[in-house]
Amino acid sequence: MNPRLLLFMALCLFSCSAFSQILRGRVLDASNLQPVAASTVENRSLFTFAETAPDGTFSLTIESFPATLIVYKPGYEARIWPLDSMPEGYFQVFLTPAPYEMDSVLITAGETESLLRDQAGSATLIRRHELDRDDQTSIAPALNRVPGVQMQQGALNTARISIRGIGARNPFGTAKIRAYFEDIPLTDGEGGTSLEDLDLSFVEKVEVLRGPTSSVYGAGLGGTIRLSARQPGWNGYEAQLGAQLGAFGTQRYTANGQVANDQFAMQVQGSNTHADGFRENSTYDRTAFAATATWLSGEKSTLMWIGQWADVTAFIPSSIDSASVAEDPTQAAFTWNKTKGYEAYQRSFSGLSWRYVYNKRLEHWISVFGGARVADEVRPFDILRENNRQQGARARWMYRTPTWRMTLGTELFQEGYSWATYQNIGGIGTRGSALSDNRESRRYGNFFAQAHGDLGDRLSWEAGGNLNLTQYDYEDFFNLDSLNLSGSYAFSPTLSPRAALLWKASDWTARVQLSHGFSPPTLAETLTPDGQINPDIAPEKGWNLEAGWRGYLLPRKLWVDATLYRMWVSDLLVARRVGNDQFVGLNAGSSRHDGVEIALNYRPVSSWVLWANYAGQRYRFTDFVDENNIYTGNAVTGVPVHQLSAGTEWALAKGFTANVTSQYVSAIPLRDDNSIYSDAYFLINARLDYLLTYPEWRAKLYVGMNNIANTSYSSMVLVNAGSFGGNQPRYYYPGTPRAWYAGVSFTIKGGKG
């Protein structure tokens, strides 16, 4: 060969190698910072491709600049990225999930993030655009669209969440369900949970695990709710102001600012909510602030801090009897209106989480957190002062191979709770002498393990367990009587195992699962009527057996998620009322919960979606004796047999989006003897949005109406309500009648994000 030709070819090869560069980076889900595997990174200039590995990393040759990258994966919105030169540092790309794609739905409330379709338990994800279907003053409408979940809300500060009937018989508030904001527990040391003071502008998504399905987040008998913080847009800045007005004096104002590059992001949010309420003595005010900061250090380390503070003053109308509902549902309970009863509190929590990837097989998550709540409550019968302080830590390690993975971890929690009561002189809110002075120390430890493995290409298995240790210490500092009720109570270690099988086909999966859960009693439920600790009280325990099918029917149009289950609950806790706001607990028997849950999502065209969710719940007491009363065979109190929600959402021309939602709830038994039921009801809500978008700013206007048909109903009921002084039992919290709202938000943004 001609020597000159050989020299020319060598120079060409040398010049190509000299000018080509290797771009190394990672593709992440913008909503949760998790790796996006099997996504395509394309150099549009030369039509070269790379596919991301399971940890989201990729390498792509860039021959020359400028170049244009496009990153895409089914279920995500494609991202186009112009490059003028080789980026400095590690290159990060953030993909946003497509709002209506079910195949891209990811669940993180397990040992690792996975597709919803591949979950071996009953799970539902409420995404940001689904939260935006409502007026943003409460999370209740969104949770009530999850089959098997009911959030009854008597007022903006009074609610009870139940899952598969667990927690429905709790007198006030939510119990027997675990909740987390990221990795920060929202459930206190004795099992109570409050989501009422969380502003939805801080929330990106909500994951609901129904039944005791998660070893990693405890073994709550009812299930687990995990909220994720709203993530900032990456590689840019953004500022947003919003305002909303509505019926019954409702006003809501929000502000949000964020700034980010491809390594660091920070976001600060604030909101103020005021409502006069449609009932007497129901004024509500909440001011809240939240902040998040995230650092991405190369491909191995992620550090995230989150914090929230809320100041709430909420007057309490309380429940009323049936005659008062018929006469005037806007009235408050007489004694609560007379004393102008209210609660005022400040609540804060914060946490720091660190994820570190040692290599492709081993990684860890470590979190530390703390919180506080200081509260005053004026009640007709006394005045209560409370002070909570809590702190703890979570840690989990995951090791994976090509065919299996294992997670080990622990969660340690300690809470100090002090409370005192004082006389309410004349029942008009004037503070008098002390009636009690108490301090509780609540501690628990969860130790968990979970494993996942593949048995061939289609069959996989999961197995895990959670070991819980719980202890209460109680000190009575009230010295004006002869009683000293101090004492300690520790439960025996409770082991909750779980096992599941999952069969995978091309467009669907089938699953079967057996799991165990438990719910410890509150300290008050461990006390006898004279205030002594009852050493024989035991936690509620239950086994859950379920089978399910999840996937597409029709050619990628109809998504179906169906579950058939049976739960056996033993050592059923009964809260017996022995005085004003005084309850004691006892283990009175067992119940069986048979149910079916179906979620349908149909998208005939890309701009239109229809959905329907149904829960059929046949729950019965199987062995229930309370004193001399036998309730065996009766329907479990506080739970409707049928719950149905349905709706539609469609994108109209020129920036308009509309949605209509509806909810049906059948009659609810209000007493254990099933002698009284609440009325069934049906609600319809609607909202219309208009979005105006320009490159550096956007504006959104919306208008909506709740309870369009002006239905009279009870938004919350008090089960087994007591009767004192010859008065009728007060079972009912009247629901809000027809109510309009309208709002506007304005956003400016800049940068590449």
Q: Answer yes or no: do 79 and 117 share one domain.
A: no
Task: Kindly indicate the confidence band of residue 753, based on its pLDDT and cuts at 50, 70 and 90.
Answer: very low
pLDDT at 578: 52
On whether both 93 and 119 belong to a single domain, the answer is no
Q: Find, among 126, 123, 106, 103, the residue nearest to 114 by Cα.
A: 106
Q: Identity (one letter) of the amino acid at 729?
A: P
CATH (domain of 151) = 2.170.130.10
pLDDT of residue 387: 95
Quick check: is 120 in a domain? yes
CA triple 477-480-482, angle to 5 deg = 90
Q: Measure the CA–CA gap between 599 and 604, rounded to whole angstroms.
A: 16
Distance, in Å, from the CA atom of 115 to the CA atom of 129, rounded to the nearest integer, reads 19
> Does residue 120 surpass a pLDDT of 90?
no
How distant, in Å, are the alpha carbons of 238, 265, 287, 302 from that of 258? 5, 7, 20, 18
Kindly report the backbone phi and psi dihedral angles of residue 629, in degrees, each rounded to the nearest multiple of 5, phi listed first: -100, 130
Please indicate, yes or no, if residue 723 is contained in any of the structural domains. Answer: no
Report how far residue 165's alpha carbon sits from residue 590's, in angstroms, rounded to the nearest whole number.
Answer: 13
Q: Are residues 164 and 82 in the same domain?
A: no
Burial class (CB in 10 A: 0-12, 13-18, 19+), 686: middle
Task: Say if residues 159 and 192 touch (Cβ distance below 8 Å).
Answer: no
Contact 48, 68 (CB under 8 A): no
Residue 668 falls inside a structural domain:
no
SS (H, E, C) 603-643: EEECCEEEEEEEEEEEEEEEEEEECCEECCCCECCCCCCEE
Mean pLDDT value of segment 465-491 = 81
For residues 174 and 134, membership in a common domain is answered with yes
d(CA 417, CA 443) in angstroms, rounded, equals 11
| 353 vs 296: CA distance, rounded Å | 12
Q: What band does 8 get if pLDDT is binned at 50, 70 and 90?
A: very low
Query: What's the Cα-to-Cα distance from 215 to each of 187, 208, 297, rounded to whole Å?
Result: 16, 14, 30
396 found inside a domain: no
Mean pLDDT of 484-494: 80
CATH number, domain of 29, equals 2.60.40.1120
| Cα dihedral sign, 190-196-198-204 | positive
Least confident range of 1-10, 52-61, 238-247, 255-264: 1-10
Model confidence band, residue 308 (pLDDT cutoffs 50, 70, 90): very high
Work out the average pLDDT over 717-724: 85
Give 213 or 88, the one with higher predicted confidence.
213
204 and 112 inside one domain: yes
Residues 86 and 113 in one domain: no
| CA–CA separation, 18 and 21 (whole Å) | 8
Among the listed ranges 52-61, 482-491, 546-555, which one has the minimum average pLDDT value?
A: 482-491
> Do 136 and 221 share a domain, yes or no?
yes
114 and 208 inside one domain:
yes
* Res 360: pLDDT: 82
Answer for the pair 469, 448: CB distance below 8 angstroms, yes or no: no
Residue 721 confidence (pLDDT) above 90: no
Number of domains making up the chain: 2
Last residue of a domain, one of 200, 226, 252: 226
Neighbours of 9 (CB within 10 A): 11
C-alpha dist (Å) from residue 232 to 299, 454, 694: 19, 36, 19
Please indicate, yes or no, if residue 498 is contained in any of the structural domains: no
CA distance linking residue 39 with residue 35, whole number of Å = 10
Say if residue 81 is in the same domain as residue 48: yes
pLDDT for 215 = 77
**Angle value at C-alpha 581, between 576 and 583, nearest 5 degrees:** 25
- Helix H or strand E segment including 366: strand 362-378
Query: Would you say residue 297 has pLDDT above 70?
Result: yes
Q: Is residue 401 part of a domain?
A: no
Tokens found for residue 343: 């609660």
Cβ-based neighbours of 295, under 8 Å, separated by 6 or more? 263, 264, 301, 302, 303, 304
Q: What is the pLDDT of residues 407-466, one digit of tens each?
A: 999 999 999 999 899 999 988 888 999 998 989 898 999 999 999 999 988 999 999 999
Residue 110, pLDDT score: 60
Both tokens of 654, joined, read: 């020129």
CA 4 to CA 44: how far, in whole Å?
35
- Which CA distances in Å does 15 have to 6, 9, 47, 488? 14, 10, 20, 78
Q: Tokens 């709790």 belong to which residue?
A: 170
Q: Residues 111, 22: one domain?
A: no
Same domain for 138 and 55?
no
Instruction: Please state, in angstroms and rounded to a whole number, the distance separating the CA atoms of residues 565 and 513.
Output: 9
User: Tell me: the pLDDT tens digits for 347-406?
Assistant: 999 999 998 989 888 999 999 999 999 999 999 989 999 999 999 999 999 998 888 889
Chosen domain end from 197, 226, 255: 226
Beta strands in 200-235 (DSSP E): 203-210, 223-229
Confirm whether 133 is domain-assigned.
yes
DSSP-based three-state secondary structure for 18:
helix
If asked whether residues 180 and 218 sit together in one domain, one would say yes
Mean pLDDT, residues 716-728 taken together = 84
Q: Could you report how far apart the first and last alpha carbons of the chain are, in Å?
A: 54
- For 134, the 3-state DSSP assignment is coil
The answer to the question of residue 113 being in a domain is yes
If you count them, how many residues does the chain have?
753
What pLDDT digit, counting tens, does each position of 657-705 carry?
999 999 999 999 999 999 999 999 999 999 999 999 888 889 999 999 9
Tokens of 145: 């669209």
Domain assignment of residue 134, given as a range: 106-226
DSSP 3-state assignment of 665? strand
Task: With CA atoms as reference, report the closest residue to 198 among 288, 282, 131, 275.
Answer: 288
- Mean of all residue pLDDT scores within the chain: 86
User: Tens digit of pLDDT for each residue in 138-175?
Assistant: 999 999 999 999 999 999 999 999 999 998 988 778 88
Token duo for residue 656: 């308009």
pLDDT band at 529 (very low <50, low <70, confident <90, very high): low
Cβ-proximal residues to 5 (8 Å cutoff; 6+ apart), any chain:
none
Contact (CB, 8 A) for 142 and 126: yes
Task: Name the domain boundary from 226, 241, 263.
Answer: 226
